[in-house]
Amino acid sequence: MATIEAQPIPRSEQWRDYRRAAGAWLIGPGLWIIIGAFMVWAVFAERDAFVVGVVAGSIFALGALGLTLIYGVLKFGHFAHGDMMMLSGYLAFLFLSGFIVGEKPGDQLTILPVTVNDLPGADDPIWKFSFGYGLWVAMILAGAAMAVILVGLDRFVYRRLRVRKSGIVIFSIAALGIAIATRATILFFWGPSPRLYYPGIRERVDLPFDVSLLADQLFILATALVATAVVYWLLFYTRLGKAMRAMSDNPDLARVSGINTDRIILQTWIVAGALIAVAGVLLSLQVQLDPELGFILLLPLFASAILGGLGNPVGALVGGLIVGITQEVAVTLDLPLLGDVSAGYKFSVAFLILILILLVRPNGLFGAKV
């Protein structure tokens, strides 16, 4: 057979190949390098903001984890996630203090006969925290309550839509309606003024390497770590967790294997409820209890989940941390022309991260499963 002579590749095509390769490299490993470089710089240049960012990021990670689990198993965007987190924070407050807002502003009405704060020593601050073991108890109760609420909502709303095989957007619209109603519920019972679990000065803790945090923030980090570890154990070492991941991959095949998908869905909501409650209480501890926070919280939550790759639990963790750190560091910056970036822009930073990742790598850092 005659051989075909190899044609030399024309210059213009060579350049095009180089550019394509460079682009692919930038979106792939290049992106990691840019993020890594930013993180390293932030650790040295804006250490305090970096540390706060890690704390905030761990809260976003927990929230995004719940969000991404719901995306994976239930296949829709849970736009009520932020408001549910806030509701959990308020429920914990209710269990602790028994208060709702009374008739006149400033009034408080006790509606629970017995509250967690009534337990002996429950509100005695532990170590340097601003709270006692009461907060843990309240968090657990809030988790249980949230699980019940979510299972109930699934039964009365989402399941009906599943049976009807509605499109994903319909689910999201229903979730938005629920978000609106949730915010209104918070306002109804606790009024519009922000509040704290335990008012008063919060103690700082000094750690090596010039790191200084509030003691409460240390608690937040530790709790987030524990919660994350528990969820990972659940997802990778238990039958339920594997079934959740299986449903996330391929719900039809899960059904075909004889898995009772309705039960897994229910259990997913319970896990999500627990995650939402922990994240919500931690958020309320970090910032404050504020009815208006829930909706715009969706911005960092979705940004984290999408940045990591929708449906990917590892992605949610990394995404949350990146978003948290970037938000906190960005508002310390003094940009040329634009001047100071005010703190009010924090969540808009999350939005910009979202747009960037959608432009450059829509499947996220670890690959989307949904």
Partner 1 sequence: MSESIAPARPVALETQDMTTGYGEVNILHGVSTRVHEGEMVAIIGPNGAGKSTLLRAIFGLLPAREGTVHLHGDNVTGQRPDALVPKGLGYVPQVDNVFPSLTIMENLEMGAFVRRNGLAERADQVFRLFPDLAGRRGEVAGRLSGGQRQMLALARALMLDPSVLLLDEPSASLSPKMVGMIFERIKEINDGGTAILLVEQNAREALSVCHRAYVLAMGENRLEGAAQDLLDSEEVGRLYLGA
Partner 2 sequence: MSILSRIPWAGVVAIFVVGFLVFGVSYEQTAGALPDGNLSGAFSFFVLFLTFVMIYSIFTLGLNTQWGYAGVFNFGVLAFFMVGAYTTAIFVKPPAEGELQDYIGGFGDALNFAPGLQTDQWFVPLVGTLAAGIVSGILALLVSIPTLRLREDYLAIATIGVAELVRRIAIEETWLVNGTRGITGIPLPLRDLVSRGDEKYLKLAIAAVVMVLIFIALERAVRSPWGRVLLGLREDELATAASGKNVTAFKQQSFVLGAVIMGIGGSVYAYTASSLTANSFDHFTGTFLFWAMLMVGGSGNNTGAVAGVFVLWGFWILTLQIQGYDLGDALLIRVPYIREFVLGLLIVLVVLFRPTGLLPQEPRVSIWVERRVRALRAAASRPVAASAEAGGGDT
Binding-site ranges for partner 2 (CB under 8 A): 76-77, 79, 102-105, 157, 160-161, 168-170, 172-174, 176-185, 187-188, 295-296, 298-299, 302, 306, 342, 344-345, 347-348, 350-351, 354-355, 358-359, 362
- The per-residue b/e assignment along 244-268, b for 16 or more CB within 10 angstroms, e otherwise, is bbbbbeebeebeeeebebeebbbbb
Measured from the CB of residue 262, what is the shortest distance to partner 1 in angstroms?
A: 9
Measured from the CB of residue 209, what is the shortest distance to partner 2 in angstroms?
A: 33
Measured from the CB of residue 347, what is the shortest distance to partner 2 in angstroms?
A: 6
Least Cα distance to 91 among 69, 66, 119, 115 occurs for 115
Measured from the CB of residue 337, what is the shortest distance to partner 1 in angstroms?
A: 45
Comparison of 179 and 305: residue with beta carbon closer to partner 1: 305
Least Cα distance to 231 among 75, 55, 61, 91 occurs for 61
* DSSP 3-state of 110: strand
End-to-end CA distance of the chain: 49
Question: DSSP assignment of 2-26, as one string?
Answer: PPPPPPPPPHHHHHHHHHHHHHHHI
One symbol per residue from 77 to 116: x for binding partner 1 (CB under 8 A), - otherwise; what is it?
----------------------------------------
Comparison of 115 and 248: residue with beta carbon closer to partner 1: 248
Distance, CA of 238 to CA of 259 (rounded, Å):
14
Comparison of 161 and 205: residue with beta carbon closer to partner 2: 161
List phi, psi (to 5°) of 206: -105, 125
Q: Which does 242 bind (CB under 5 to 8 A by kind): partner 1, partner 2, none?
A: partner 1
One symbol per residue from 137 to 166: x for binding partner 1 (CB under 8 A), - otherwise; what is it?
------------------------------
CB atoms within 10 A of CB 199: 8
Q: Spell out the alpha helix ranges (H) of the chain.
A: 11-25, 31-45, 47-74, 81-97, 133-153, 159-163, 168-190, 215-237, 239-249, 251-256, 261-286, 293-296, 298-308, 313-330, 346-360
* Binding to partner 1 in span 341-370, by CB under 8 A: 369
Comparison of 249 and 340: residue with beta carbon closer to partner 1: 249
* Binding to partner 1 in span 256-285, by CB under 8 A: 256-261
Helix (H) or strand (E) holding 334: strand 334-335
Measured from the CB of residue 357, what is the shortest distance to partner 1 in angstroms?
A: 21
Measured from the CB of residue 192, what is the shortest distance to partner 2 in angstroms?
A: 9
Comparison of 108 and 238: residue with beta carbon closer to partner 2: 108
Comparison of 262 and 292: residue with beta carbon closer to partner 2: 292
Q: Which does 369 bind (CB under 5 to 8 A by kind): partner 2, partner 1, none?
A: partner 1
Q: Are 77 and 66 in contact (CB under 8 A)?
A: no
Q: Does 248 bind partner 1 (CB under 8 A)?
A: yes
Taking CB under 8 A as the criterion, the residue among 124, 249, 292, 340 binding partner 1 is 249
Taking CB under 8 A as the criterion, the residue among 180, 242, 345, 352 binding partner 1 is 242
Comparison of 204 and 255: residue with beta carbon closer to partner 1: 255
* DSSP β-bridge partners for residue 334: 340
* DSSP β-bridge partners for residue 335: 339
Measured from the CB of residue 247, what is the shortest distance to partner 1 in angstroms?
A: 9
